[in-house]
Amino acid sequence: MAKKTIVVKLGTSVLTSGTEKIDRAHMVELVRQCAQLYKQGHDIIVVTSGAIAAGREHLGAPELAPTMANKQMLAAVGQSQLIFIWQSLFNIYGLNVGQMLLTRADLDDRERFLNARDTMRALLDNRIVPIINENDAVATAEIKVGDNDNLSALAAILANADTLMLLTDQEGLFTADPRNNPDAKLIEVVDVIDDEIRQLAGGTVGCLGTGGMATKLQAAEIACRSGIDVVIAAGFAKDVVLRIAAGKRVGTLFPSHISPLESRKQWILAGPTPSGIVIIDDGAVNAITQNGSSLLPKGITAVSANFKRGDVIQLQSLQGKLLGRGICRYTSDELATIAGCHSCDIESKLGYGYGAVAIHRDDLVLF
């Protein structure tokens, strides 16, 4: 099987097996499957819910008023319990984990998005399993993603994932909420998420989870638009992670009809107004247009306007021809400092570096 990047989102319903306590035995089973995929060479990212449930359990299920501060307190206590459990379980398989607690602000701001992406990349490159949750202890309603289904779709985009698995306490999307409709039927494939599909999805009935099926459909929509296939399936089903990864029919599949690269390039072309222009020499023009190379600082001769890391900028030749657009990994000031330099000199010029390329070829669209 070709190497894949797979995001596995585990809802509170899966991690507690429907009880009020974290089901560690079931977590071992899920970790075994993730570790097996990791050993096969795939990149695995876990998006874990369950901090609030773990906090309640650890404090002995206290009677608390349902305030935001109390929920945040439970999450603060529970998150450390949760990451400890994940770390102990992955260690059984000789794998380390790295915790990333995110909020909407980390994903909306282009520069913070790139920083988070770099951290995720560094974890994966070092064969460390990223374990992601919302930073519930500090995130207020305004800066929250709000539910881990949507968070997992954003994490999948951050990771350039191929597949997002949303594992829950139902076998997939049904024609109605199976808890109240015993005749509801499993839908095996959803090609287009339209209003008809959306209206099938109800909310959650658990007090510890958030969103129900509605947020899973929102997540599926976001991820599919970015070229990521999504599967909603039961976390309790035997070998569920392994079977989905092997392409077996499990749960509800939402196939994406676009590749991640195509979707990214569409966004670069149709997305934000370019924030600046970078002039490049003939060698660089040749490298990016003929050889499909990334743009290195060496080929840059001038930088105009102020732009931030992660902004979309235009590329222009010395003769004034507009060549294309790309997402720049350095600010305009940094680029002006390293223009004409070899990539190996970036760190000595700036005192730090964000990698050898100014614009990666995957972030570049030529006209």
Ligand X SMILES: N[C@@H](CCC(=O)OP(=O)(O)O)C(=O)O
Ligand Y SMILES: Nc1ncnc2c1ncn2[C@@H]1O[C@H](COP(=O)(O)OP(=O)(O)O)[C@@H](O)[C@H]1O
Residues annotated in a binding site for ATP: 9, 168-169, 210-216
Contacts with 141 (C-beta within 8 Å, 6 or more apart), sequence order: 68
Residue pair 68/144 in contact (Cβ under 8 Å)? The answer is no
Q: State yes or no: residue 133 binds ligand X (CB under 6 A).
A: yes
The DSSP annotation for 283-309 comes to HHHHHHHHS-PPBPGGGEEEEES---T
- The tokens of 232 are what? 């909603």
Stretch that binds ligand Y, among 129-137, 173-181, 326-334, 345-353 (CB under 6 A): 173-181
Q: Mask: binding to ligand X, 203-242, rule CB under 6 A, as x and -?
A: ------xxx-------------------------------
Nearer to ligand X, 13 or 316 (CB): 13
Q: Which residue's Cβ has the minimum distance to ligand Y?
A: 11
Q: Contacts with ligand X in 22-81 (CB under 6 A)? A: 49-52, 75
* CA-CA-CA-CA dihedral for 30, 35, 41, 43, to nearest 10: 60
Nearer to ligand Y, 39 or 179 (CB): 179
Q: Indicate which of ligand X, ligand Y, none lies near residue 177 (CB less than 5 to 8 Å, by partner kind).
A: ligand Y
Q: State yes or no: residue 174 binds ligand Y (CB under 6 A).
A: yes
How many residues make contact with ligand X (CB under 6 A)? 16
Q: Contacts with ligand X in 324-343 (CB under 6 A)? A: none
Nearer to ligand Y, 178 or 299 (CB): 178
Stretch that binds ligand X, among 110-118, 129-137, 190-198, 225-233 (CB under 6 A): 129-137
Kindly state the smallest distance separating residue 46's Cβ from ligand X, in Å. 12
**What residues are designated binding site for substrate?**
49, 136, 148
Q: Indicate which of ligand Y, ligand X, none lies near residue 200 (CB less than 5 to 8 Å, by partner kind).
A: ligand Y
Q: State yes or no: residue 254 binds ligand Y (CB under 6 A).
A: no
**What residues are designated binding site?**
9, 49, 136, 148, 168-169, 210-216
Nearer to ligand X, 75 or 161 (CB): 75
Kindly state the smallest distance separating residue 199's Cβ from ligand Y, in Å. 9
d(CA 83, CA 152): 17
d(CA 73, CA 78): 8
Lay out the sheet containing 96-102: strands in order across: 96-102, 128-134, 43-48, 5-10, 163-168, 229-234, 252-254
The DSSP annotation for 153-203 comes to HHHHHHTT-SEEEEEESSSS-BSS-TTT-TT--B--B-S---HHHHTT---
Kindly state the smallest distance separating residue 131's Cβ from ligand Y, in Å. 17
Kindly state the smallest distance separating residue 45's Cβ from ligand X, in Å. 15
Q: Indicate which of ligand X, ligand Y, none lies near residue 136 (CB less than 5 to 8 Å, by partner kind).
A: ligand X
The DSSP annotation for 49-99 comes to --HHHHHHHHTT-------HHHHHHHHHHHHHHHHHHHHHHHHHTT-EEEE
Q: Indicate which of ligand Y, ligand X, none lies near residue 237 (CB less than 5 to 8 Å, by partner kind).
A: none
d(CA 82, CA 224): 29
Candidates 55, 130, 209, 326; binder of ligand Y (CB under 6 A) is 209
Question: For residue 8, which of 31, 24, 40 has the smallest C-alpha distance?
Answer: 31
Q: Contacts with ligand Y in 142-161 (CB under 6 A)? A: none
Count CB atoms within 10 A of the CB of residue 81: 18
Q: State yes or no: residue 11 binds ligand Y (CB under 6 A).
A: yes
- The tokens of 313 are what? 């900028």
Contacts with 307 (C-beta within 8 Å, 6 or more apart), sequence order: 275, 276, 313, 328, 331, 332
Q: State yes or no: residue 310 binds ligand X (CB under 6 A).
A: no
Q: State yes or no: residue 200 binds ligand Y (CB under 6 A).
A: yes
CB neighbour burial string for 15-53, b if at least 16 within 10 angstroms, e if fewer: bbeeeeebbeebbebbbebbbbbbeeebbbbbbbbbbbb
Query: Residues interacting with ligand Y, by CB under 6 A?
Result: 11-14, 49, 168-170, 173-174, 176-179, 200-202, 204-206, 209-213
